[in-house]
Structure 1
């Protein structure tokens, strides 16, 4: 009888393949000490309430104290998040996360007076404080960002109420996370080798790349059979999240939740509408690629579960995790010795939680906090796609590393809008590296296929998600009920418009919205698409050794949030307020699609 392969328990994972969270807190006693220190610091800051307009020194001291508290609170929060994500079924981890969420809500409520009181100070007085005290200079952009909120910040009492309710507002996302990562029980299926394996999020992506359609079909149908059992529950959690976004936008005087989300980084809504417009104008390229896939795979019917298997058959490139480390460093060497030395640190110093285990959060991400090294979560599988994931998350981590080592705390993070550019620039660099490295036409075909799929999955798919996200927010704002049936109906039609008539619009795909965690992130997904398009231009400059391209890119990595995102990217060489960078990205897609067809 064939052995059934199950995921290991967390305790069974080799320590070398887990991240080392002791760089955040050495042990639980250090965590408890940090939590205990917060209360007196908060109380001391509260003594400044009502006095910030008196003089510049009082205001500056209050801001510095608040930033110190914020940094400490972030360390506590990130530690709890990472502990929980490594095993969401662990009750102790869940309890710590809940405790920290409550702590964040309480501290936020106590400090909610600060922004309203600063913004109650006349602009002229703030300018006078800054002009007469050189110590204000490092906070110039801090005030620029704060002034963007001037007409959207509520009274001190109202801000305190909202801050105190923050953990309540996170309920829908938290329920989705527990259900999706811990409570859903997936069946056992057959892999390409005929082995019985337990279906999981990580295993699902691997099985969809199988060269056997029966394996792909079984994984697809079995996964969605589980999600469809709970579609009404998922509809309730997603509807609750959308209502939170719309509620917060409304009470702060924004015209929409999208405007509220984008205004935080001073991103005009035209960036979003330009993306949707350009993608829809280039759907013919996606339809052409999908049609080519159907023809080459020699399928009578092309299904949604056939969109991820390599067109050229079984991958000629597979990597163990150790092999992937060496290939990643070789590909990224074009960024210079300093960059690669920090990549090597990540591998040697346990910045990465590598393998999948029972209860571990699905997917991959880079996280961390100012003052510590970055952390990466993976669910490793030995294939080319996971090499790209590793390089992608390393892009985020190097962005964090360079930012935190070159900016003060107030600018030591970066908005999501620029975050996805660093990760996808790395992916584009890896693509060019592999195309240059191998002369074998079969390998070139496979890498080109991977690029085309990546473009499809990042630019087209994420814009499809963005359209769905906009639709459900507008529907809720109009007072329409976000039922499972209503959302599935729209999603199914949207999916058919994107992929065209060459793909069977399988009934299960209507429920895809049930399993997308990014719909809980408040207009997050469009930035994957804009980021990939901008990264395409940046990577081309670096790989073709255009003058100053690498240096300008490294300057972008070091900029953090010291300026508005569009201005940071202009200095890097991409004007994202215009459509040209999107048109250039589609040109590259079409060129590589042509190259792919010619090689065939």
Structure 2
């Protein structure tokens, strides 16, 4: 029997029941069965009144400790209750019963959110001096010190309880810019019929645009680009208005909470200085040259007289399928690639790969994509839709990076300090990707190396350069709003065209249609978020470089990062592990590595 024949039947038409139990995650590790889940729901409901009864009583250290303990207990119940239902729903969205359980869990979560609202205002009303005295008085409050001090840090930006309630209620009214954008793009916008290189009918939509952009059929790519961008152009004034509304709403909330602008407000949650944001943009500007050289290389390899934006995503090699292997083989490769992280890491990784953490294969009704879901006190759960190609192996390494970050954090930290921030979330996963890439390059043919290096360069282009381009655009648009101006479509288009000229250099022929690209980016409706992709990727590259070069203490520092969870501010946790994002160094290391890999690719291509 060949290895291929051992692979279980799977796919969009395979029923969930046909997938072997060995290839499914063990939700019974959360609750043995639904009866145990229902019992947990009953315990949760019985405990909730005990928490709400503490409202108005957080005036002593003893009462504060009691409230925080009950809050943690409720939150841990809720984590498990929700995960048990939602994981099973995601594994099979045709399961009506699991949809009902998920709905019940969401109702419990809403109750908790409402009940929780008294804690922060009551603590802040006591004042910093009183709360710090309570922390000193009660030793058992030590585990909550960072949580409480972080809350006190933002004291000047929290309104009175009645004003915060009004602000919360107003968000339904002020969120129409983002909701109008989503409705227009997902429901009302109609994209044109197009043709491919043979003149045959083809389609373009947000769903298949990137797929079309990687097609070897250049006519299809060009028509997809023009069809999509041209459609957005027709709505440019409306989309400028929705973006204006969203940006004005963000500035309103920043202003009433005593921030000077939206940037300061957005970065305050993670205690990130605005100088980091500005420094990130400046460092990328200082390293435009390797990106310009990469675009010139793509133009030369594709042998086109003009390199257009619709050529940007065209891969330089089709060797991705040559990495095909079974899932057990993929697990073995990932374990070997991550061996530099040490025995403890690999032993825990092996446990996760073999003991029911992962739901491996696609089946009918299963959610697409991949994710990792940490459940404190149990273990993480990883959703995959594994296919036999390099991207799936890389996804496995990526998601297990998240999973082990969650696992080590929950092992080392109390519940309140275990949850790492979004700012740190992509670091462990991308570190794994980098280690896998270097391992795979060592065992690859020249054609496979071309594929891998191209994949890597595209990852840096899209995750660092492109996200910083977005971040710079956000700084421009929110600066316009802070200055009291509206966002006019023509000015946005001109800015975006110039931005692409700056970032991609003279090798790119900038078509007028590209001017509309800003209007299709949903991230712009969540202000100052995308820069975290670039900082996370850069931190991961710095970690991987230190580990692979054998820097003394690099592995121990990295494992310290994984164990730290959310026990301190993100920048402090990273700095303690040897990565200081307040300096240009991690981003510079990343872009230097980009330049080095580009030279490796040029050598392989004889350029």
Indicate whether the TM-score tops 0.5. yes
Alignment of 1:129-168 (within 5 A): 129-162=134-167
Q: Distance in 2 between matches of 1:178 and 1:74?
A: 31
Q: Distance in 1 between matches of 2:47 and 2:300?
A: 66
Shift of 1:279: 0.8
Aligned residues: 591
* Residue of structure 2 aligned with 1:247, choices 245, 248, 252: 252
Secondary structure of 1:366's aligned partner: strand
Q: Distance in 2 between matches of 1:519 and 1:414?
A: 24
- After superposition, the C-alpha distances for 1:1-43 in whole angstroms (9 at most, x for unaligned) are xxxxxx9369579646776656556677766666665555443
CA contact (8 A) 1:396 1:423 kept: yes
2:358 is matched with: 351
Residue segments in structure 2 that go unaligned for 5+ positions in a row: 1-10
* Residue of structure 1 aligned with 2:379, choices 357, 366, 373: 373
Q: Distance in 1 between matches of 2:184 and 2:376?
A: 30
* Residue of structure 2 aligned with 1:536, choices 538, 541, 547: 541
Residue segments in structure 1 that go unaligned for 5+ positions in a row: 1-6
1:472 is matched with: 477
Q: Distance in 2 between matches of 1:179 and 1:359?
A: 27
Aligned alpha-carbon RMSD (Å): 4.3
CA contact (8 A) 1:417 1:527 kept: yes
User: Which TM-score applies when normalising by structure 1?
Assistant: 0.83
- After superposition, the C-alpha distances for 1:341-370 in whole angstroms (9 at most, x for unaligned) are 443444442534654977956x54433443
Determine if the alignment matches structure 1 residue 280 to structure 2 residue 295.
no
CA contact (8 A) 2:279 2:584 kept: yes
| TM-aligned CA distance change 1:243 to 1:36, over 3 Å | farther
* Residue of structure 2 aligned with 1:58, choices 63, 85, 105: 63
Shift of 1:435: 2.2
2:344 is matched with: 338
1:496 is matched with: 501
Shift of 1:196: 11
2:50 is matched with: 44
Determine if the alignment matches structure 1 residue 69 to structure 2 residue 77.
no
Determine if the alignment matches structure 1 residue 394 to structure 2 residue 400.
yes
CA contact (8 A) 1:208 1:219 kept: yes
2:6 is matched with: none
Shift of 1:494: 2.6
Whichever of the two has the greater Rg, that structure is 2
1:594 is matched with: 599
Q: Distance in 1 between matches of 2:95 and 2:520?
A: 22
CA contact (8 A) 1:366 1:376 kept: yes
| TM-aligned CA distance change 1:168 to 1:140, over 3 Å | same
Shift of 1:299: 1.4
* Residue of structure 1 aligned with 2:529, choices 519, 524, 533: 524
- After superposition, the C-alpha distances for 1:246-297 in whole angstroms (9 at most, x for unaligned) are 3332221112222122111211111111111111121122111101110122
- After superposition, the C-alpha distances for 1:411-433 in whole angstroms (9 at most, x for unaligned) are 11111112222122112112211
Shift of 1:567: 1.4
The more displaced of 294-303 and 335-344 is 335-344
User: Which TM-score applies when normalising by structure 2?
Assistant: 0.82
Secondary structure of 1:598's aligned partner: helix
Shift of 1:326: 3.3
Determine if the alignment matches structure 1 residue 324 to structure 2 residue 327.
no
